[in-house]
Each structure stands twice: as structure tokens, then as C-alpha cells.
């Protein structure tokens, strides 16, 4: 074992919607503009916040979850980031203590300093009580401080500051400012690449943060947040793994309609030997030459009419399936393959008709939470998060289960199979089972040796 040291914080909050993403991205943007190397991670399975963090930091952003991605993967990614970064930022998920595992669990496991962001728009003295409670609720958490968000005035900021029992914990206030708001829609933040002034919004947030005690901390000041990350010195970890997808090309849908793609999933496919190519169901008329197709999740409901009109790509995919070539379709990717999609306003759009049935958008969440899918070649971990339901005559040969392994007859996501198509609302974290992942994209796959720090058991 060896150790490497780097300042690292986890940006948390008492609840969702407090401004964690804005503060994390602003802090990353502020230090990146100053020429520092910043690495950002997102706690939990979120696809959308990492787009903003990638834009802010100029570096790839990976998810961290003690269950889904695993402790070993988290530890290895933190250590790898510490080797090259001046600052590591981890954005929490929901409230600090919400979920199993929670953001607090992640912070405690790796000794990350916790910075609490609190929406102070409707409070004054209670701000200090809330900050104190977050800091002291669980023994063993190392605290960085508290930042007030959506503050009305300098006078309001002064009241908030005076409410904090330990003055050194006050890291400043961000005023209400529409110029730094990150736009949202029903599944979360709008993808940064779809927001024409995304960088300007991040710069506005970074400018606002720059005048706070948090924003004025130098590299020397940040050293008080130093964390020691353990690195496993194992030469065998660098040995190449078997590559059951060597020589195979996987075509991946990627555009505004299909954007829910973990960077680690792409890394996993490449580690398995696959060559990756990308295509747009919104714009392309044919599939690229490939041996397998991955249709990830996204927003097909926002582009249903345009997708319905792309009959040439539909026919190209149907020809791919007729040749018994694999298709893995996740959530939004699966929705595209059904006969019809009914949007929340009641409009019906013909879709690609490779799966029988109708998908209907709902006004409320229809599926949410961590799940795992036991397949012939391994156990895939992941999650579900969708606003639609599907009505189909298809039987489900497999269903997902809770993290504890208990079946969910009513809530476990179904895996449908028609010919070479496998489809589910389940979003898979490919590194959780390289062998099961390989089986999704190959007619036969051999178990693979897992490289330390990239994939976990």
C-alpha cells in the first residue's frame, strides 16, 4: 500500500434542490479558470449533473456509489484523481444522510471533508441550527463548513452568518441570481450541451463564488482539506484482461434524445476489446457498420415525432436485428422500440415497432431506485428512474431485484427479449459485471479477469 494526498470535499445539502450542483460546478469552474487541475465526481447514479461538471472542469466525470459502483472502484478512482489533481470535488446526492448508502457514508468511508450548501431563501436564525445539526448529527464526519445559497441581500447574509455557532464554519453566501441558474426539466437538469449559454451560467456562478470565503481560498488554504488516499501497489493489476469483444464494433446511440451514458460504461466496453462508434437516431439515416447496438436512455418523449419520422434508420436497425445481431436497449432506448409512445399531453406517436406495445408518459415517477439484474453470465448492478409505463403482451424472462436480492414482483424492472433484442427500464452499470456486459453485445462471452480499480466483483 502507498498513499497519496490531495484536498477533497464532498458538497452536500439537507435535501435535494438546495443548489449542490451549482456550487460544485462553480467551484470547479473557478479553480479551473485559475489553471488548477480539478476532478469532479457525482455521488449516486445521476447521468445529468456530470454534464455540467465536465463542462466546468474540462475533465471526465464519473459516478460514485458504495453499492452500485462499489467501494474498490470508488477508492481507485479517487486515488487516480489525487495523482493528477489540485482539488477533488464530489457532489452528494439528495440530502446528506438520505439513501442507503448515503453521501455521508461515502464521505465517512474515504475521509472526505463535508461542505453543506443550504438554501437560505426562507430562513434566518434557523440556518445556524440546521448547519449545526448537519455537522453534529453523525460522529466521525469531517466538516469543511457551510455555504448559504439563494440569499436575498447583504443584510440577510449577515443574519445567516451570525446564526452559525462556529464562525470558522461560515464559507459565505451566494445571492439570488437568475444568470447562474441551471435549467431543469422532468428528469433533472437540462443537459449542458443543450443550453446555449451553459458556460456563461457557470462563469456567473464562479464569479459569485469568487467573492466568498470559499472562493477566496488559495491552494495553500485548500491543504487543510487534504485527504490521504490509499493506492494498491500491485503490478498484476496492470496486466491485460481477456477481451471477449475484441474485433467487435458496438454502435452507440448518442444525441439529444439518447444521452444517459456513463463514461465508465464506455471504458468498460473498450476494456473488453470493443471498438465504439456513435450514431444519432435523430439525424442519421443508417446504422454505422457494427456487430452490436446499444440504445441508452434519454428523452425520446421530447423528440417522439422526429424519431417516428426517421423510418430509414428504423429499417436499418430492423435489418440489423434480422441478422440476429445483438441490441441492448435501456429505458429511453427501449421506449423507442415499442409500437407507440403517448406523450404527457395525450398525443400518440408511432415509434419503431420492434417491440409490441405502447409506452405512456406519466406526470409522476413510475420507477426509482437501485436495482440489480441476475443474468446467466453475471449480476449487473444499476438503477431505474423513469416517468413512463409500458403496456405489452411480452413475457419477462427476467426481472430486477432490490440491492438486498429480494425479488420485486410489482416493482422490479422487466427484461424483455425479442429475437436478438434485450430491453429494459433498468440502467446497467457495466463495470459491475464485465462478463454479463460482454454477453449483452456478443453471441457468446467468456468470463473476464477484472482489472483492479476499473471494475469490481
Question: Judging by DSSP bridges, how do beta strands 414-418 and 398-399 pair with one another?
Answer: antiparallel
Report yes or no: 151 and 268 within 8 Å, Cβ to Cβ: no
Question: Judging by DSSP bridges, how do beta strands 184-185 and 87-91 pair with one another?
Answer: unpaired
29 Cβ neighbours under 8 A, 6+ residues apart: 56, 57, 202, 203, 205, 206
Of 355, 339, 338, 350, nearest to 419 (Cα)? 355
Beta bridge partners of 151: 175
Show which residues are catalytic: 331
d(CA 450, CA 456): 7
Nearest 5°: CA angle at 45, between 33 and 277? 75
Report yes or no: 12 and 114 within 8 Å, Cβ to Cβ: yes
Axis-axis angle for helices 154-163, 126-136 (nearest 10): 40
Amino acid at each position: 500500500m502507498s498513499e497519496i494526498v490531495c484536498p477533497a470535499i464532498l458538497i452536500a445539502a439537507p435535501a435535494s434542490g438546495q443548489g449542490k450542483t451549482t456550487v460544485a460546478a462553480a467551484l470547479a469552474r473557478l479553480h479551473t479558470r485559475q489553471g488548477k487541475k480539478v476532478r469532479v465526481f457525482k455521488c449516486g447514479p445521476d447521468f445529468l449533473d456530470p454534464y455540467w461538471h465536465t463542462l466546468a472542469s474540462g475533465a471526465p466525470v464519473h459516478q460514485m456509489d458504495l453499492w452500485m459502483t462499489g467501494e474498490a472502484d470508488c477508492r481507485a478512482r479517487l486515488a487516480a484523481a489525487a495523482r493528477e489533481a489540485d482539488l477533488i470535488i464530489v457532489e452528494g446526492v439528495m440530502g446528506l444522510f438520505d439513501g442507503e448508502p448515503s453521501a455521508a457514508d461515502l464521505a465517512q468511508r474515504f475521509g472526505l471533508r463535508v461542505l453543506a450548501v443550504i438554501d437560505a431563501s426562507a430562513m434566518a436564525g434557523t440556518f445556524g441550527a440546521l448547519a449545526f445539526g448537519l455537522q453534529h448529527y453523525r460522529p466521525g464526519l469531517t466538516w469543511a463548513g457551510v455555504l448559504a445559497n439563494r440569499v436575498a441581500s447583504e443584510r440577510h447574509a449577515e443574519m445567516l452568518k451570525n446564526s452559525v455557532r462556529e464562525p470558522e464554519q461560515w464559507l459565505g453566501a451566494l445571492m439570488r441570481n437568475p444568470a447562474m441558474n441551471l435549467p431543469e426539466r422532468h428528469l433533472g437538469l437540462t443537459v449542458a450541451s443543450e443550453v446555449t449559454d451553459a458556460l456563461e451560467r457557470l462563469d456567473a456562478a464562479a464569479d459569485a463564488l469568487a467573492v466568498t470565503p470559499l472562493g477566496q481560498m488559495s491552494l495553500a488554504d485548500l491543504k487543510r482539506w487534504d485527504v490521504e488516499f490509499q493506492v494498491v501497489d500491485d503490478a498484476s493489476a496492470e496486466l491485460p484482461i481477456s477481451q471477449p469483444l475484441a474485433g467487435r464494433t458496438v454502435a452507440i446511440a448518442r444525441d439529444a434524445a439518447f444521452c444517459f451514458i456513463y463514461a465508465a460504461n464506455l471504458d468498460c466496453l473498450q476494456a473488453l476489446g470493443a471498438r465504439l462508434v456513435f450514431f444519432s437516431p435523430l439525424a442519421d439515416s443508417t446504422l454505422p457498420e457494427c456487430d452490436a447496438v446499444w440504445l441508452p436512455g434519454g428523452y425520446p418523449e421530447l423528440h417522439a415525432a422526429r424519431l417516428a419520422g426517421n423510418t430509414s434508420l428504423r429499417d436499418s436497425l430492423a435489418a440489423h436485428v434480422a441478422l440476429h445481431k445483438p441490441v441492448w436497449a435501456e429505458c429511453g432506448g427501449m421506449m423507442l422500440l415499442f409500437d407507440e409512445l403517448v406523450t404527457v399531453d395525450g398525443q400518440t406517436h408511432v415509434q419503431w415497432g420492434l417491440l409490441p406495445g405502447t409506452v405512456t408518459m406519466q406526470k409522476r415517477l413510475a420507477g426509482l431506485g437501485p436495482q440489480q439484474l441476475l443474468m446467466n453470465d453475471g449480476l449487473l448492478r444499476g438503477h431505474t428512474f423513469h416517468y413512463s409505463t409500458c403496456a405489452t403482451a411480452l413475457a419477462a424472462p427476467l426481472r430486477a431485484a432490490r440491492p438486498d436480492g429480494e425479488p420485486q414482483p410489482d416493482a422490479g424492472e422487466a427484461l424483455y427479449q425479442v429475437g436478438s433484442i434485450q430491453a429494459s427500464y433498468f440502467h446497467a452499470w457495466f463495470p459491475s459485471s464485465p462478463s454479463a456486459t460482454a454477453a449483452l453485445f456478443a453471441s457468446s462471452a467468456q468470463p473476464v479477469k477484472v482489472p483492479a480499480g476499473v471494475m469490481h466483483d
